[in-house]
């Protein structure tokens, strides 16, 4: 069988020594982690390896010998290296030798107990140790779905990635350390660390504790009994701003918890939430500074009242048009006048209410605008709530129109059944035949005719107000979609994929390097990064997303029957 | 096709220009054409497709786009069941394509996935047979090689 040797590219120029690493016998491959240089005492090397094995749970052992000679091949050195094979008994004993600056190395194996007389073929695979250690392999979603088979069909690559990742302890001793063992690996020239990262790690502990304390205060206040009385709790549940604030509070609690992240997923989630919050607050502060510069917010408040007035006037014109002969249709005069006057009175009430509030609007808006510093998402939610409050009269009209229409439809259907001599059996939930008296039939038919001829008027009012309501709902839905997007986008993962793409690995790719006859096959193993789509899909943050409750057919059916529609359902909300 | 799309965009832009006499339309058309060309070269047009089979490691499929981007997939040998030439009936003709059959972890005889190769270059049967023969040579070796204990 073919022997695969994974050699770190950083050790290509190392001095002669022995190779240490892990031997994976099921795959007939050797993962080389470092080179131990001469002089060394074999007993100390074995002791060191035993210590490393205890700490990292990776079965590290001496795999072979490496000779890097500047001149031509030295016979004595090669014999010495073969003798080493007897000291560190390992099957098979790998010998790699490099002459001068030649790219093509000799790689041979010594098998003492093999029954296969012919020479094994060797494939030399170079890998970048630092990148493989830092990267996280993402299994394809298909295999992740069947965990019971994962154990048997364990990916070969994940074994290699695991080996390198778990051997972090091995990479802490450098070449210039005072110990008895001198190693060469990717960090042997000096441990690399970043001052900023270290400082942030030190500063994060007290910052987290402070944040956790503040959050416990805030959540204690929120949970107090005062805010749970009926009108207030109803208000909180209807305003989307409160939901968004609660959501952000949860996120903050997750970040400020002092439990360290156990695995990659948790760490990425924490980092994503942190970056998302940061960007959100930054954008919010930007928005706030833009709003408050040049006193734009008072301009906004000044234009709010005229806009509300304008909307109310437009509605009045619409109702006048409906009370006349809209689109050439002939309405029932009396019903038309009644409905029209009823809605006009409502609009009159609404306009007076707005005018009552007008002196306070500017102050309210000024203070509400300050809360944009809590984040762009909060500002968008406030906008959506303001739209909901301003169009409250449209919502009321829609409810009135819908209820009227619904009553009419039910009445019509029930009288239609009477007209045909049938009845709805409530006990059996089906239509049964029934014999009516003559006077019942007479009155029923009369009422049926009346309702039928009044249908177009009611239907028209219902249609107009439903369209207006749907418009408002669509606008609100778009805003919530945007909020959702900002909430759930894993920004840290995307930036990581952009800047350090080797950390998120979907797999590997091999490149065939120059060949020479008689020498082993040389391959370069590089990391194949995850695609942006899979990054977003894997690391999406969960949100209280609102999605359409009904499919298109059920929505149309509800519209036809006049049932009230609430198209956006929030996760966790009770059914209306 | 690319030339049809470019001509359509330019004719529409010129028509709009004649109607509105606004030269911004023409600049917008240039911009759109450039962006569209870059997107086409980077995401759609595949220049070269290659297959690398290493008997003990796996099969690697690479597509390189006209803009130089390379997209690679590596399938480990333990997941590969076989490489076959499949026939498909498309409209009025029969087309042949090479594909890799992946093993189903639950069912040893089953196939969990079929990965088609050379989707853009679509070589003909004689070319496919050459590739098929070379692949089978390598795949045979892994079956006859003795399993290490």
d(CA A314, CA A18): 88
Which residues form the domain of A481?
290-489+545-561
Please enumerate residues of A whose Cβ is less than 8 A from a Cβ of B: 1-2, 4, 25-26, 28, 116, 123, 125, 142-143, 146, 149, 152-153, 155-157, 507-510, 512, 521, 523, 528
Q: How far is CA B128 from CA A255, B43, B91, B99, B122, in A?
A: 56, 26, 21, 10, 9
Instruction: Judge whether A544 and A250 are in contact, CB under 8 Å.
Output: no
For residues B63 and A157, the model is more confident at B63
pLDDT at site A143: 47
Rg (CA), chain A: 38
Cis peptide before A215 (omega within 30 of 0): no
Residue A454 lies in a domain: yes
Instruction: Check residue A325 and give its pLDDT.
Output: 72
Q: What are phi and psi of A78, to 5 degrees?
A: -70, -35
B61: in domain: yes
pLDDT computed for residue A175 by the predictor: 67
Phi, psi of A519 (to 5 degrees): -95, 160
The DSSP element (H or E) to which A508 belongs, if any, is: strand A504-512
For residues B22 and B86, membership in a common domain is answered with: no
* Set of chain A residues whose Cβ sits within 8 Å of the Cβ of B146: 1, 116
In whole angstroms, what is the distance from residue A186 CA to residue A49 CA? 18
Q: Is B1 on the interface with A (CB under 8 A)?
A: no
Q: What is the structure's pLDDT at A282?
A: 92
Cβ neighbors of A144 (< 8 A, separation 6 or more) are: none
Q: Which of A153, A184, A215 is the last residue of a domain?
A: A184
The mean of the pLDDT values for chain B is 88
Q: In degrees to the nearest 10, what's the CA dihedral of A47, A53, A58, A60?
A: 0
User: A523 lies in a domain?
Assistant: no
Rounded Cα–Cα distance for residues A341 and A344 (Å): 5
Residues B40 and B109 in one domain: no
Q: What is the pLDDT of residue B125?
A: 93
- Which of A139, A154, A184 is the last residue before a domain boundary? A184
Residue with tokens 């590219």: A9
pLDDT value at residue A152: 44
Position B130 scores a pLDDT of 94
Which of A26, A125, A153 is the closest to B105 by Cβ?
A153
Within this chain, do residues B11 and B56 fall inside the same structural domain, yes or no? Answer: no
Q: Computed from CA positions of residues A178, A179, A185, A190, in that sequence, does the dihedral angle turn out positive or negative?
A: negative
Q: Is residue A278 part of a domain?
A: no
- Total domains in chain B come to 2
Total number of domains constituting chain A? 2
Residue A554 lies in a domain: yes
User: pLDDT band at B86, cuts 50/70/90?
Assistant: very high
Residue B148 touches chain A, beta carbons under 8 Å: yes
In contact, B63 and B42? CB cutoff 8 Å: no
Does any domain span residue B20? yes
Q: How many CB pairs under 8 A join A and B?
A: 53
The range of the structural domain enclosing residue B75 comes to: 48-144
- pLDDT exceeds cutoff 50 at B138: yes
Distance, CA of A348 to CA of A355 (rounded, Å): 11
User: Do B26 and B89 reside in the same domain of the chain?
Assistant: no
Residues B33 and B73 in one domain: no
Q: Of A184, A215, A241, at which residue does a domain stop?
A: A184
3-state secondary structure (DSSP) of residue A543: coil
Per-residue model confidence (pLDDT) at position A291: 82
Using CA atoms, how far apart are residues A245 and A379, in angstroms rounded to an integer?
Answer: 11
pLDDT at A547: 67
| A255 three-state secondary structure | helix
Residue of A nearest to B105 (CA): A149
* Domain membership flag for residue A110: yes
Residue B53 lies in a domain: yes
Q: How far apart are CA A291 and CA A288, in angstroms?
A: 5
Same domain, B41 and B67: no
**β-strand B70-76 against B58-65: which pairing, if any?**
antiparallel
CB-based contacts of B80, cutoff 8 Å, min separation 6: B58, B59, B100, B101, B102, B103, B139
The pLDDT score that the predictor gives to residue B65 is: 93
Q: How far apart are CA A7 and CA A569, in angstroms?
A: 56
The answer to whether position A424 is within a domain reads yes
pLDDT tens series, chain A, 576 aa: 788 889 888 888 888 888 888 888 888 888 888 888 877 788 888 888 888 888 888 888 888 888 877 765 566 666 777 777 777 777 778 888 887 777 778 887 777 665 655 667 888 899 888 888 888 888 765 544 444 444 444 567 888 888 888 888 777 776 666 677 777 777 777 777 788 888 888 888 888 888 888 888 888 887 776 666 777 777 777 788 888 888 888 888 888 877 777 788 888 888 899 899 999 999 999 988 888 887 777 788 788 888 888 888 888 888 888 887 777 777 788 888 888 888 889 888 888 888 888 888 888 888 888 888 888 888 899 888 888 888 888 888 888 888 989 999 999 988 888 888 888 888 888 888 888 888 988 998 899 999 888 888 888 888 888 998 999 989 998 998 899 888 889 999 999 999 988 888 888 899 998 888 888 888 999 999 988 999 998 888 887 766 666 678 888 888 888 888 776 665 544 433
**Which site among A510, A529, A530 would you substitute to test the B interface, given the most B Cβ atoms closer than 10 Å to its Cβ?**
A510
């Amino acid at each position: 069988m073919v022997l695969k040797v994974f050699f770190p590219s950083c050790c290509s120029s190392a001095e002669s020594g022995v190779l240490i690493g892990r031997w994976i016998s099921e795959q007939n491959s050797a993962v080389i982690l470092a080179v131990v240089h001469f002089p060394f005492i074999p007993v100390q090397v074995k002791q060191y390896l035993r210590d490393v094995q205890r700490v990292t749970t990776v079965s590290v052992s001496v795999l072979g010998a490496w000779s890097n000679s500047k001149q031509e091949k030295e016979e004595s050195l090669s014999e010495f290296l073969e003798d080493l094979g007897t000291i560190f008994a390992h099957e098979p004993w790998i010998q790699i030798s490099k002459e001068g600056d030649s790219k093509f190395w000799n790689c041979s194996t010594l098998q003492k107990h093999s029954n296969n007389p012919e020479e094994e073929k060797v494939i030399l695979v170079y890998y970048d140790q630092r990148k493989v250690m830092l990267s996280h392999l993402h299994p394809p979603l298909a295999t992740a779905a069947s965990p019971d088979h994962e154990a048997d069909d364990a990916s070969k690559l994940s074994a290699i990635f695991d080996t390198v990742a778990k051997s972090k302890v091995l990479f802490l001793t450098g070449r210039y350390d005072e110990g008895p063992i001198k190693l060469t690996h990717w960090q042997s020239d000096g441990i690399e660390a970043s001052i900023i990262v270290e400082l942030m790690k030190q500063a994060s502990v007290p910052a987290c504790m402070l944040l956790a304390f503040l959050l416990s205060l805030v959540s204690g206040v929120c949970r107090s009994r005062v805010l749970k009385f009926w009108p207030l709790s109803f208000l909180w549940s209807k305003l989307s701003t409160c939901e968004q604030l609660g959501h952000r509070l949860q996120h903050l609690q997750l970040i400020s918890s002092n439990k360290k992240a156990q695995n990659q997923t948790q760490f990425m989630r924490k980092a994503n939430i942190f970056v998302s919050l940061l960007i959100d607050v930054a954008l919010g502060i930007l928005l706030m500074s833009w709003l408050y510069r040049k006193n734009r917010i008072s301009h906004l408040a000044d234009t709010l009242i005229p806009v509300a007035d304008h909307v109310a006037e437009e509605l009045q014109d619409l109702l006048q048009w409906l009370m006349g002969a809209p689109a050439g249709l002939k309405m029932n005069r009396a019903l038309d006048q009644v409905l029209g006057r009823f809605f006009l009175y409502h609009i009159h009430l609404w306009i007076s209410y707005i005018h009552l509030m007008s002196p306070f609007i500017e102050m309210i808006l000024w203070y509400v605008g300050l809360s944009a510093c809590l984040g762009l998402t909060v500002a968008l939610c406030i906008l959506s709530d303001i739209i909901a409050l301003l169009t409250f009269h449209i919502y009321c009209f829609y409810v009135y129109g819908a209820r009227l229409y619904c009553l009419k439809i039910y009445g019509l259907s029930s009288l239609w059944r009477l007209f045909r001599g049938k009845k709805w059996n409530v006990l059996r939930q089906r239509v049964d035949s029934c014999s009516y008296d003559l006077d019942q039939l007479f009155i029923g038919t009369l009422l049926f005719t009346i309702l039928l001829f009044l249908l177009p008027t009611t239907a028209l009012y219902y249609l107009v107000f439903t369209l207006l309501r749907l418009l408002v709902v669509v606008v609100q839905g778009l805003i919530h979609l945007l909020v959702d997007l900002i909430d759930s986008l894993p920004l840290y993962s995307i930036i990581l994929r952009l800047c350090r793409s080797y950390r998120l690995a979907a797999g590997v790719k091999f490149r065939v390097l120059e060949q020479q006859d008689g020498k082993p096959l040389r391959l370069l193993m590089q990391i194949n990064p995850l695609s942006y789509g899979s990054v977003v899909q894997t690391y999406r943050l969960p949100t209280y997303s609102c999605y359409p409750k009904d499919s298109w057919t059920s929505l149309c059916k509800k519209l036809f029957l006049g049932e009230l529609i609430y198209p956006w359902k929030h996760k966790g909300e009770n059914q209306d | 096709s690319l030339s049809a799309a470019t001509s359509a965009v330019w004719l529409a832009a010129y028509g709009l220009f004649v109607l509105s006499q606004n030269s911004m339309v023409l600049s917008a058309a240039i911009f759109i054409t450039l962006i569209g060309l870059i997107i086409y070269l980077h995401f759609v047009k595949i220049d070269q497709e290659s297959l690398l089979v290493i008997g003990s490691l796996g099969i690697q499929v690479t597509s390189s786009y006209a803009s130089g981007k390379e997209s690679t997939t590596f399938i480990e040998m333990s997941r590969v069941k076989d490489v076959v030439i499949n026939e498909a009936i498309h409209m009025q003709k029969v087309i042949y394509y090479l594909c890799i059959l992946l093993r189903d972890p639950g069912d040893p005889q089953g196939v969990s996935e079929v990965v088609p190769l050379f989707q853009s270059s679509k070589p003909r049967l004689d070319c496919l047979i050459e590739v098929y023969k070379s692949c089978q040579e390598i795949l045979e070796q892994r079956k006859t090689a003795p399993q290490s204990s």
